[in-house]
Structure 1
Amino acid sequence: MSMTDDIAPEPSEKATKLRMVDCDIHPALKHKKALHPYLEQRWRQHLDEFGALAHCVYATRGGPYPRFTPETARRDAWPPNGNPPGSDLEFMQTQHLDAHGIEYGILQPIVGANNARNTDLSAALCTATNRWQVDEFTSRDPRLKASIHIGAEDAELAVAEIERWAGDRNFAQIQLGSRSVEPIGRKRYWPIFEAAVRNDMPIGFHVGGPSPYAPSPSGWPDYYLEDHHVLTHSAHAQVSSMILEGVFELFPRLRVVMIEAGFAWVPSLGWRLDNHWRKLRTETPLCKRPPSEYLRQNVWFTTQPADEPERREDLRFLFEQIGFDRMMFATDYPHWDFDDPERALVMPMSKDERQMLFRGNAMKFYANLD
């Protein structure tokens, strides 16, 4: 159930007893130049004179759809100091981490650092973003773990950024967007996957990204409702690309999670790919097994936004089809479609299944949580 209004519940007995890992928390910059202290002078000057030259604006001021203002956030998410939602650690601690008994939270920064048009600038912004996460959040609250922000379009620079932070216990994963200039399974991206496996770091694909192309095969949507829905299609495409182009065959220990992309599409994607693969498998020699096997072995999913059918039993059936051990809880705090851990995912679950969903799976999946 998505919660769109003021939500600041007192922690219930259930919430305080069940320790949780929130796999999708969005930290925000206090102001537009918050990354400047982490940038060389030439990049500060570049941004002041030319801007970031991003292909599109995602989840920032000035977006093309109403959802992007104000700040994509819950109405009650503004800290008392007036800074943007997600930018004030103390308020985040009070409103979310403490209130909901969050044991660990995975930060997913969306700050415009991943720039496909100027990869040198993108690399500098990603490094700045990673240093900022540590200084502002993870060094001040050990419950929070950062994501290694990288720009996928220059694999050499991306690998250098992974190597810079992979041994740092402040970081739990590598972060990519679900939209890229080319399908992510292409060979030019493979060094990123190799670096992830070498450093035993999972990759989180958060919906969105710096792709220059319209999100819909038919062009740009007219309405935010359309735009919000087709975001998930990029996750379908990236999962299919990694499977069919042999990423999981070449890197069998690679772990990826699709974040904020829904999950009701997962079983049917596996069925459809298997059906086509049986007929056309000679075209994809690096996909040596039925695609659904790679989907089940290498890919995880977060629960927000929860696809919740009217009948609770149908939701449980969906989880069984994907696998309870492949689902990880997320809230999307502080965004407007935040999922309250005490109200979302209402369905029949055993104690062991609930523990897997809200904590156990994430503890196994992510690095540096123990």
Structure 2
Amino acid sequence: MNENTIHDCDRHLIEPKEIWENHVESKYFNRFPVTLRSCDKKGNRPFYRNSSNTSEYFIADEPIFFNWTNALQSGASDHGSELTKKLEQATSGQSQIQSMDDSGIYSASIFPTFTGYIVNHSAIDSETSIAYAQGYNNWLEDYCNADKNRLIPAAVISRHDPSTMVNQLETILEKGWRNITLRPEPIQGLTLGDPSYERFWQCCAEHNISVSLHGGTHLDQPDVAGKQRFNTRFAMHACSHPMEIQMAFLTLLDSGVLERNPTLKIGLLEAGASWIPSWLWRLDNICYPEFPSLIKDNIKMLPSEYFKRHCWVTLEIGEPCLKNVIDTIGINKILYGSDFPHPDHIQFNLNGNLHEKFLLNKHDTNVILTRNSTDFFNF
């Protein structure tokens, strides 16, 4: 990649509803069909329609989103035609490339929108979860074939049964891919640091796989940040991304995954970066020295050193304290991701003076936009 070209490290596609029936093995699709349903004018739900501003995905008879209320469905249309255009552009590889050209983006790592909620849904069994992950990955391959140099796929792996994850990873490696994405939350009661994941993490490190942890609000799993206290979109969304990412790093650190796999590459996406200085300071200066004998096997150096060795993070345009972040983890571990085409980031764009938007000098801005992604995403 040319050093002056921008790579978007967190760009999403929108899965057309047809892909599930066309790409998921029929016995699994028939058992747990994914359908698009809509509210009627009185707010009653569900009934079937092809499309609607208030449509909702279901898997069998379960909504794929937890607490996706009628009011929230209506609110999702607040952004109007601008958002609709962006969502439509994200449905195919060719139109995605056009959207990138419109934004001055040369290449992008491509992440799912709905798939993570389907594959990680609490109501489905492991075999079905794997079938949906594999169906999505096969469709994603066609999507990114629109231009393999510009669209970099992030494959999805089911976490329902950790004993299957190495085999899933091997299937992805056969495609020639070296990038995967996982949810940061506990899935089926297991955190990312659970001992049953041990061989999987070893394989990721052995094969130089970049693992992007990317959460999202409304996941249907019981142990999700904010879910036990809040039921509004505003409050749940405030918790879901940054808090789950911080705890995901913590579970990998505390369980010794990072100690045992020194080459493991972890991306922490869509959670911002300004929390990093205070979080690592606390881990280094309060938690680490308190009871050394309790952590001596799994945490043998300062938590911040593990973070700097293993982790890359995406920033938010204009967020505060970025100079402190650079001082803490180094400029080479910071990435840019647009979150296109999702509405919570629609107000951010790359128009205008970029280093002023990033609140950084020109050199640091260019490093973040053009260089760091190559090291993490293996292209």
Which consecutive unaligned segments of at least 5 residues does structure 2 have?
36-57
2:24 matched to 1:21? no
Among 115, 130, 133, the residue aligned to 2:121? 115
Question: In the TM superposition, what is the alpha-carbon distance from 1:214 to its structure 2 partner?
Answer: 4.2
Map of 2:298 onto structure 1? 286
> For 1:64 and 1:199, how far apart are their aligned partners in 2?
45
Change (3 A) 1:276 1:53: farther
Map of 1:186 onto structure 2? 194
Change (3 A) 1:185 1:74: farther
SS in 2 for 1:107: strand
Question: In the TM superposition, what is the alpha-carbon distance from 1:63 to its structure 2 partner?
Answer: 5.6
2:371 matched to 1:360? yes
CA RMSD of superposed structures (Å): 2.9
Identical-pair percentage: 18
Among 31, 45, 50, the residue aligned to 1:46? 31
> For 1:133 and 1:278, how far apart are their aligned partners in 2?
46
The answer (yes or no) to whether the contact 2:269–2:314 under 8 Å persists in 1 is yes
> For 2:203 and 2:133, how far apart are their aligned partners in 1?
17
Using the size of structure 1 for normalisation, the TM-score is 0.82
2:242 matched to 1:235? no
State the Cα deviation string for residues 25-48 of structure 1 (Å, max 9, x = none): 1111222x4222222221121123
- Residues 192-201 or 245-254, more deviating: 192-201
State the Cα deviation string for residues 225-246 of structure 1 (Å, max 9, x = none): 2111101111111101111111
Map of 1:256 onto structure 2? 266
State the Cα deviation string for residues 269-314 of structure 1 (Å, max 9, x = none): 111111211112322221111111101110110124x4623xxxx4
1:303-322 matched pairs, under 5 angstroms = 303-304=315-316, 306=317, 308-309=319-320, 314-322=321-329
The answer (yes or no) to whether the contact 1:155–1:191 under 8 Å persists in 2 is no
Change (3 A) 1:70 1:270: same
Question: In the TM superposition, what is the alpha-carbon distance from 1:249 to its structure 2 partner?
Answer: 0.7
SS in 2 for 1:105: strand
Using the size of structure 2 for normalisation, the TM-score is 0.80
Map of 1:349 onto structure 2? 361
Question: In the TM superposition, what is the alpha-carbon distance from 1:79 to its structure 2 partner?
Answer: 4.3
Question: In the TM superposition, what is the alpha-carbon distance from 1:364 to its structure 2 partner?
Answer: 1.1
Give the number of the structure with larger relative contact order, counting CA–CA contacts within 8 Å between residues 6 or more apart. 1
1:75-114 matched pairs, under 5 angstroms = 75-79=81-85, 84=88, 86-94=90-98, 96-110=99-113, 111=115, 112-114=118-120
2:164 matched to 1:157? yes
> For 1:36 and 1:308, how far apart are their aligned partners in 2?
41
> For 1:21 and 1:75, how far apart are their aligned partners in 2?
26
The answer (yes or no) to whether the contact 1:327–1:357 under 8 Å persists in 2 is yes
Question: In the TM superposition, what is the alpha-carbon distance from 1:55 to its structure 2 partner?
Answer: 8.2
